[in-house]
Structure 1
Amino acid sequence: MDENFGGSNNPCILGLTNGTYPNGTLGKGTWEPFGIYVPTDSEMDACQDANDPWAGTAKYGWWTTYFIVSVFAVVSISNGARRFHNLNRIHGLQSPFSFHHKVSALFRWASYPQIKAFGGFIPPLGPSLVIFGFLIFSIAICFLPRPYYRPPNFGSPPLSLRSEWLATAMVPWIYAAATKRNFLEFFSGVSYHRVLTFHKWVPWICLLMSIVHATSMIIKANRQQPWSYTIRTDPYYWNGIPALAALAWLCIMSLGPIRNRFYETFYVFHIVAAVVFLVWMYIHLGNLLESWQYLHAATVLWGAAIAWRVVVHAFDHGWFKKIPRASVEMLGADAIKISVPMPSNRTWGAGSYVYLRFLSMRPWESHPFTISSLPAPSMGKESDAHGKYGVNQMVFLIRPRAGLTARLRSSLSATQGPLMRSCLVDGPYEGYIDKLRACDSVVLLAGGSGMSAIIPVAQALKRASGKIGMSCCQNIRVIWAIKDLSCLVWFKGQLDEVKGLVSIYNTGSSDMNSKLYNENSKVESATSPSSVESFGNVESGRPSVKSLVAQAAQKFNGRLGVLVCGPSSMVLDVRNAVATLQRQILALNEIIQSKEIELYEESYSF
């Protein structure tokens, strides 16, 4: 037995015996003020050195960082190879980088499926596996090493320190994923909508680790002194409460139903809570073991993204001297059309989206809308060659719901004719058009106003079809489900360009269609039998998207791209249909002609 510890080989023995060695020798510390042994620095160091010392716990933050960076690097390298391969496909060149179609099908089969429970609240299988894997990693790093606690007055519990570093190391990535212009989306190729999935779920793991940290620290404090004394004398306990409360607020208020219910105020309070959390984290950590480096990273990433966004915003608006005035008008079938004039040199890709900020309507809020138009003539390779809009302008087609869109409808109801409103345009942020150009065939599915994201993509693909260096796409099919035929007036000019490619599914009752048909002459003209039939096939009833996607896979060779924008139920059905087809590709089902089937989706909102 090691005599260095008074007849014990346990360097923490004094904490277990309240200051007395097994041989009867007393420790050199004190028992003040609560009768619980307080060791000397050398006695504490000896105990800690043998049991996950405080000075070495920063490694858990680095392990967390290594895990996240490794996942990000794998996804980014894969995306880089994929982009290069797509570029070569578009230009008709042989690519040195490509993935075997069965390997691609395997990864898609493992990432596309999504359960319908809770309205799509649970992410698709791929992101869910990554998030769950990170949760398991965090729990393993936190709870597998022993010990969990030290004797009273011998230092912070190892369990508390491990969980603290795990939570702190997540902070830069959470803030990076929150920005609209972020490096995660650019390098990984993951859509902003999917990056937000990680932004919504990783904070819950951070909150879990923070609760473990706080709970173990409270247990430690109560073992050595009254809680009232701890709060009064130790600032590390009370200054951690605001940060924990802010994080809990951010997580709970970001839950889908709550966020959607209070979206008008959610954004402002979300930003305030994010600032409060970061400030109090600085105060709480006190840069012990250089822990501020994670907060510095979060501050720089967040601040740089905001600064870059402001600079681009200012540049696009002539340093805020040339603010466009949007025209807002009502269309048939309860839709609102917003037209924003753009400078002649402003261009954007099909399916891009922007954030609109109306200066006379809650100017602190911005809302995402997909651009349903293409640039005017000579403005870009996807320009509106037929000059449907006359001038270069962004056009948005939206269905009023709550919040901003409801206020717009209310304002339009109180006036005659269109409204003119000053607005700032943040964007454009690119959609999926470049990836769809690299597909041999494309199926575009829309539900209701989701056609606003689909119709410009269909136009762009048709114009570039068969042109080397522009697109590989040879076959285009558009499927649009609408409740009544009066919706056709929304995109009449654009539908003329892609007529013959569109299949329209009228899901409304005949009585509803008759009523809306006779509401006004404009709608009547757009929905007359001859006009409707000129756009393409018209069928009654709800489309079976599963069958439609399967039929396309059985008909078209090569790479098939599927883009869907519509209600969440429609998006889920298409997603799971494409996932099912991946299994058939893996099984070498001869019925399936497509060697690859890619899925892309747009959402009504973020």
Structure 2
Amino acid sequence: MIETRHIQEHDANSTVKHYWAYPDRILPCTKDAGTCAYLDSVYHSHEISMLYTFILWAVLGGVLVFMLSLRYGKSVARSSDIKTPLRRGLDSLGSLGRRWMLSEAPGRRILGRVTLLQVTVLSALLGYLLIFSLVGVTYKTWIVPTKNHPGLKTIRTGFGGWGDRVGALAYALTPLTIALCSRESVLSLITGIPYQHFNFLHRWTGRVIFVQSFLHTLVWTLVEGRFYQPQPETYTTFIKQKYIVWGIVAQIMITFLYVFSTSWAIRLTGYEFFKKTHALIGILYLGACWAHWDKLACWMIASLIIVLADFGVRFLRTALLHVGYRKGKPGLGFHNAIATVQHYGDDEDSVVRVDFDFKHSAWKPGQHFYLCFPALNIWQSHPFTPSSLPIGRSDIQHHTYLIRERSGITAKLAQLAKATGGDSCTTSVILTGPYGGSPSEEAAASNLLAIAGGTGVTSVLPTVQDIFTVAQTGTRAVDFVWIVRKIQDLSWITPELTELKSWMSTGKADGLRLRIFVTRETAPPESSTSSTSSVSGKGEGCCSKRANGEKNGVVVTSSSDLTAAQNNFSITYLGGRHPSIKDIVSDFSERTNICGGRSQVIGAGPTEIGTVLRSAVANENHTSKVWQGDESGIMALEWDCRS
């Protein structure tokens, strides 16, 4: 049926013209003038549609090449301390981008918590698709007689060509959508951007494909079911064709993917249902699209290659970690890590600490692993960032994770820890990774502001520790800010906090300020005699020995080792309030004005903190100063909200 479409008929004088991804055309046209003009527009529109899909990928390829070149240029420029025009230009460009594009975009209820940069990229893509969906379409209608039905008229328009156009663009967009959700991301290798930052574009390109496929289906339903005559014979013949049946199957599947990826559907059915059905139905959708129009199978083949490569590399990485291929493992076979699990807090503030040692290479501070607890559920794995510092030259790495109790697997893990009555218990762990980028890769930054909310401390603590364990020179200002609900939350990382305080007292962590804010408690009565109100000391030097508190807060000293008063260490009770992130960033900026050098901001925790922090960091970027060689205002931001 496909080969004989478009009312074409062979005769003795006919020739065949081949078209890529479309049925051959029979020339010359022997039908009426209206039908022949319609066929001219259909085939011309198809050629333009194919051109536009190739242009789309040429533009995407050009953008990736540009980002790779920019990434390489930055690394070369910063390999020297000399402030060349290239380095100043790249730094100025980065500062300008952060000032205007780092803040959160409006429309949070629709778009979510995303930056202006992400929305700008999406808008550019949508603009391309909108323009090239409309350009080159024949906006004309031909009313022609219907064969063997003298009293009926058939309507032929450019509507069908436009429907094919949006369908072709949906096919071409599919490999990009798949690449944007891959954990083993080629895009991350090229751009250096961690894979999780592409999730926003994946969701919206998927929605665009759903709209395009819906419009494609609607167009041809109207054309075959209303415009072409006679009816219902024409539509009945059309709907029974094999490629149309597969098109209907594909439309049902993309509708399922869209509906069950909405936030209300995920809340209703659970994240694990979404995760597994999304992967399964997504693969079946690719097969249905291939069967619907195999002449454009190249896009589906590319998509399947990306999917299979992603799952294959995941499996390989897990196998390499757990199968005894490394010297010193107890023979071949799959070996789980054995972790100790401890519970902290109460039902309102319940956190589980997981510790284990495992034989593998070191990761980079700030990277995360996917953990599976087979004793609880073999089919689930979730991303967690280790709060422990990797040891570069050691084969045995220690992992520490802080996991807040939610629902699902984290609730089961907490119940397992609670069942021991406060003592630690053990469970097996399967891990895959590491994934994501590392803040330490911003080697040119000499000053660091690390802000953590709750269990987000797992992401920033290793970076702070790494700064003072790696031999580095130059003036440095490091502010470590941890926002917790209750003072008892400090017990989550007692060994690590004790070590940091020891480094501060011995001078190993010179330039470090450690500030803890307790949001839900006021100063305990027994410490009232030793508590003082303190205003944040703005503009202090890098190695200032004065502890700083928050405005209107109470800085409390204690006799315990963990909360004992110490230079550059403070605990501020806010009694139901939250600290001013803007003031924290401003204070750090003034401090680095004295120290000099580039600054970097990292953080993890609730998304509300990330929203305010992005805006504060954006305001501290001054492009003109950067071009003039003043690097004190450069602040790169890396925010992790998984915790």
What band does the TM-score fall into relative to the shorter chain? 0.7 to 0.9
Q: 1:99 to 1:249 in 2, by over 3 A?
A: farther
In the alignment, residue 553 of structure 1 is paired with which amino acid? S
Contact in 2 for aligned 1:505/1:539 (Cα 8 Å): yes
Q: Distance in 2 between matches of 1:49 and 1:513?
A: 87
Partner of 1:221: 224
Partner of 2:336: 323
Partner of 2:588: 552
> Which of the numbers 272, 277, 283 marks the counterpart of 1:275?
283
Contact in 2 for aligned 1:149/1:158 (Cα 8 Å): no
User: CA shift at 1:527, angstroms?
Assistant: 7.5
Q: Distance in 1 between matches of 2:88 and 2:299?
A: 36
The reply on whether 1:363 has 2:382 as its aligned counterpart is no
TM-score by length of 1: 0.81
> Which of the numbers 597, 601, 604 marks the counterpart of 2:639?
601
Partner of 1:336: 352
Q: Secondary structure at the match of 2:579?
A: coil
The reply on whether 1:82 has 2:74 as its aligned counterpart is yes
Partner of 1:519: none
Q: 1:534 to 1:191 in 2, by over 3 A?
A: farther
Partner of 1:125: 116
Contact in 1 for aligned 2:88/2:627 (Cα 8 Å): no
> Which of the numbers 476, 491, 516 marks the counterpart of 1:504?
516
Q: 1:442 to 1:366 in 2, by over 3 A?
A: same
Q: 1:527 to 1:308 in 2, by over 3 A?
A: farther
Q: Secondary structure at the match of 1:594?
A: coil
- The structure whose residues are more often helix, as a share, is 1
In the alignment, residue 531 of structure 1 is paired with which amino acid? L
Q: 1:321 to 1:46 in 2, by over 3 A?
A: same
What whole-Å deviation, never above 9, does each CA across 1:113-143 have from its counterpart, x for those lacking one? 1047439715210010110111111011112
In the alignment, residue 582 of structure 2 is paired with which amino acid? K
Partner of 1:141: 132
1:59-458 maps to which residues of 2 (within 5 A)? 59-86=51-78, 88=79, 98-100=87-89, 101-115=91-105, 117-118=108-109, 121-147=112-138, 151=142, 152=155, 157-222=160-225, 223-225=227-229, 226=231, 229-230=236-237, 232-256=239-263, 258-259=265-266, 262-286=270-294, 288=295, 291-318=296-323, 320-332=333-345, 334-343=350-359, 345-376=360-391, 378-379=393-394, 392-416=397-421, 417-458=423-464
Q: 1:263 to 1:586 in 2, by over 3 A?
A: farther
Q: Secondary structure at the match of 1:53?
A: helix
TM-score by length of 2: 0.76
Q: 1:567 to 1:513 in 2, by over 3 A?
A: farther
The reply on whether 1:570 has 2:609 as its aligned counterpart is yes
Q: Secondary structure at the match of 1:322?
A: coil
What whole-Å deviation, never above 9, does each CA across 1:166-207 have from its counterpart, x for those lacking one? 110111111122221111011111222211221111111222
User: CA shift at 1:59, angstroms?
Assistant: 1.8
Unaligned runs of 5+ in 2: 1-5, 8-26, 143-154, 325-332, 505-512, 527-556
In the alignment, residue 246 of structure 2 is paired with which amino acid? N
The percentage of counterpart residues that share the same residue type is: 20
- Matched residues, number: 536
Q: Distance in 2 between matches of 1:150 and 1:314?
A: 61
Q: Distance in 1 between matches of 2:579 and 2:111?
A: 20
Contact in 1 for aligned 2:558/2:565 (Cα 8 Å): no
Contact in 2 for aligned 1:200/1:251 (Cα 8 Å): no
Contact in 2 for aligned 1:461/1:473 (Cα 8 Å): no
Contact in 1 for aligned 2:42/2:158 (Cα 8 Å): no
User: CA shift at 1:445, angstroms?
Assistant: 0.3
What whole-Å deviation, never above 9, does each CA across 1:218-277 have from its counterpart, x for those lacking one? 121121144651554333333212222222332333334543561122211111111121
Q: 1:93 to 1:593 in 2, by over 3 A?
A: closer
Q: 1:80 to 1:513 in 2, by over 3 A?
A: farther
User: CA shift at 1:420, angstroms?
Assistant: 2.4
Q: Distance in 1 between matches of 2:75 and 2:246?
A: 47
Q: Secondary structure at the match of 2:562?
A: helix
Q: Distance in 2 between matches of 1:321 and 1:588?
A: 53
In the alignment, residue 516 of structure 2 is paired with which amino acid? I
In the alignment, residue 640 of structure 2 is paired with which amino acid? E
Unaligned runs of 5+ in 1: 1-13, 16-38, 381-390, 515-525
Q: Distance in 2 between matches of 1:192 and 1:558?
A: 29
Contact in 1 for aligned 2:113/2:607 (Cα 8 Å): no
Q: Secondary structure at the match of 1:147?
A: coil
User: CA shift at 1:577, angstroms?
Assistant: 0.9
